[in-house]
Amino acid sequence: MASIAQAIRLALHYGEEHLDVKNIFGEDVGPPLGGVFTATQGLKTAWNSPLDERGIVGMAMGLALAGSRSVAEIQFADYIFNTIDLLKIAGNTCWASYGQFPMPMTIMSPVGSGIRGSIYHSHSFDAWATRLPGWKIVMPSNSLDAYGLLIAAMKDPNPVLYLPPKALLRVRGEELIPGEPSDEKELRSMIDAPLGDRSAWKPRWPEVTEYTVEIGRGKIVKEGSGATVVSYGRTLPLCKRASEELTAEGHSVEVIDMRSLYPYDWKMIVGSILKTRRVIYINEDTEVTNFGEHLCRRTVDELFYNLEAKPRVLAGKHLPGIGLHPNLEENSVPQYEHILHEIRELLSEQP
C-alpha cells in the first residue's frame, strides 16, 4: 500500500497527465530532492523556486489568473504565515470579480507536529486556514483520501489549501489507490528515487486512474451509538484506535473523519450527534480560537436540547510553539492517552 507521500506523488502525476497541471513548484520540489518529504520525486513539471513563500503564492496566483493550473508547495505550514495577505486576496478574487476571474490553484503545505520539528516545524494551520473566505480547506488522514482529495483540489475552479499532516506522510494506507500495484516493494521500485546519484533515474509510473473525494464530504470511519468523535489529520488514527479499545471495554463510539474543513459535512456530524447525543471535537491546533470551538458553538446553538452531555473540545495547548524535547511535544498536543481519557470522561458524564 502507498504511503501518503507516495499517494500525493501519484495524484500529482495524474494531474500532469490528465488535468492539464503544467507547474508543480516550491522550495526543493524539483530535482534532485523532489521535496523534503519526497512527495514530488520524478514529476516532469516539478521545479525549484527561490526560498520565498510570498513569491511562491504570488506565482500560483498569476498562473491561475492566466488560466494555467498549478500546484505550489509551501515546504512547511510554519512558513505560510507571511503569505496570509496574499491568501486573502486569492480567496476573494473570484467573488470580488463577480466570477470573471476564477482561481484554479492548489497550495500544498504539510502541517502539524509529530516529526520532532520543534518550534519552527510543528505548527498547525487549521484554524487560520478556515478564516480565509473563498478557500476550500482539506486534510487527509490516509493514503486513499490523500490521493482523492488532491485530484479533487486540482480539478476545482477555486483556490484549495491541501494540508497533509507531517506525522502521517510515511504511514501506509489500508486501501489500494486505483491502479496501484498491490506489492508495496514493486511500487517503491517504480516511483521512489534511489539514494545517491539520481541524475539518470526515471520513474515508471503505474497506470493510476481517476479517484476523487468530494470536497465537503466527511466519512464515518467507525460506527457507534454511545458518543461521536469528530477529528481529522494526525489525531484521526488515534481517535479510531481509542474507539476500538473502548469497544473492547463494552462502549460504542462513532468516529468521523472530516477530511474537508471547509466546506465541512455538517449534515453528517448532526446525524451522528442526534444518534449518540454526545460529541467531542479533537485536533491538535491551539485551543484558543480553535476550529473545534466553532463546531462546538454550532452544536450548542442547533442541538442543545438533543444533548445528554456537554460537547467537548480537545486541542493543543495555547503555546507559541512546540519544544524539541519529546516530553514537551507530547504534552503540547493531544496524544493517544489524552484522547482515550477525554472520550472516557464524555461517556461517563451523566445526563
The grid cell for 277 is 447525543
Specify whether 121 is catalytic: yes
- How far, CA to CA in Å, does 261 sit from each of 130, 194, 206, 236? 7, 36, 31, 13
Q: Find the catalytic residue in 13, 18, 121, 325.
A: 121
Is residue 338 classed exposed, middle or buried when 0-12, 13-18 and 19+ CB atoms within 10 A define those classes?
middle
Is residue 130 classed exposed, middle or buried when 0-12, 13-18 and 19+ CB atoms within 10 A define those classes?
middle
- In whole angstroms, give the CA distance from residue 152 to residue 11: 10
CB within 8 Å of 327: residues ≥ 6 apart: none
- How far, CA to CA in Å, does 256 sit from each of 140, 173, 272? 13, 17, 9
- How far, CA to CA in Å, does 298 sit from each of 130, 270, 277, 294? 15, 10, 14, 6
**What pairing do the DSSP bridges indicate for beta strands 253-257 and 227-231?**
parallel
Please confirm whether the linkage preceding 32 is cis (ω < 30° from 0).
yes
Q: Across-strand partners of 247?
A: none
Catalytic positions, written as ranges:
121
